[in-house]
Structure 1
Amino acid sequence: MSGVNKNIVILISGSGSNMAAIVETAQAHRWQDRFGARVAAVISNRDAAQGLAWAKAQGIATAALDHTTFESRDAFDAALMAAIDVHTPALVVLAGFMRILTPAFVQHYAGRLVNIHPSLLPAFAGLKTHQRAIDMGCRFAGATVHRVTSELDHGEILDQAVVPVLPGDTAEALAARVLSQEHLMYPRALERLLAQA
């Protein structure tokens, strides 16, 4: 992450609440002044992603590439890489981006690609993490910020947040409690990466 400008590109698929938390922290903690870092763009695989409108209102460049219009996962990822690389990213941040990325994409951004996953990895990789934690009788759940590798949800752990699983918890209630911690942890983990660069 050398150079004066450390551009961050965030990928979303929906409301972008983690993206918004990152943008707000970047402004409040003066990432531009302290690290030469800024959120340069927000890109989604869904035209209707609510987070795009929010990002645009903050003056951030946005783009949408509808993955359903591409003939293959490889074709979509190639187009996505082209859209990202316009911004010469120091970090590519997955924030609720609901696509499994091809090995070529992951390799292209090796060391620069970061994700947040709603479980305490290595437990409960994949989907339906909160219901699985409840079903297994876990007393604690949480979220993990990790580097992305070609193996799903298995990269180096950068930060974790822990929340209790309460009696009578539903997956929705647990998810909301975990998400509130994600909004604190994800920006913190990224700030630590920027400070080390």
Structure 2
Amino acid sequence: MKDYLLWEDKPAEKFCDAHYLGNGRLGMSVMGGAPLEEVYINDDTLWSGSEEFYLNPQHYDKFEEARRLSLEGKVKEANNIINNDMEGRWFEAYLPLASLHLTVGQANNRRNMPLKMVIEPQKDDISDYRRQLQLGTAVETVSWVRDNIRYTREYFVSFPDNKAFIYCTAEREEGGAEGEKLLDFAFG
């Protein structure tokens, strides 16, 4: 079986462009920023609204009417019935648990710790950028090269462990010991 993937050659600019990972309860959306990453973390227990259940007594009749109109080719009218009479009240939305910020790949004086400020890279500072989501394994990988060092971050949400994991590495591309690991850490 082929292992399909989604890949991008730049970080997500908007939340809806991020790659989403999850296990049914815990979720992460990865923007893929380099060197500063922002990961939105969500948990299904955090949502707005109440636990009240609303039963629409006209639901079945409206469903039958929408189905009849749809079969007659009146799709717009059927859609209006579904939107206006079947969806019920405004439904709840999930709220984010956290926004995680990671800075990886700030060498020398590129990070001003007292000000907690990331100095953005210049146009040609970063090369060979790639953000990809392996659909078969559900692993998100973000990698780029800066100052002859390949930085890689891998993200995964485990169903059995009910945890989210991030694994970061940095390896020298050329010069110095080949494949020399400069950074190797994980947390979850």
TM-score normalised per structure 1 = 0.20
After TM superposition, the score normalised by the length of structure 2 is 0.20
The structure richer in strand per residue is 2
More helix by share: 1
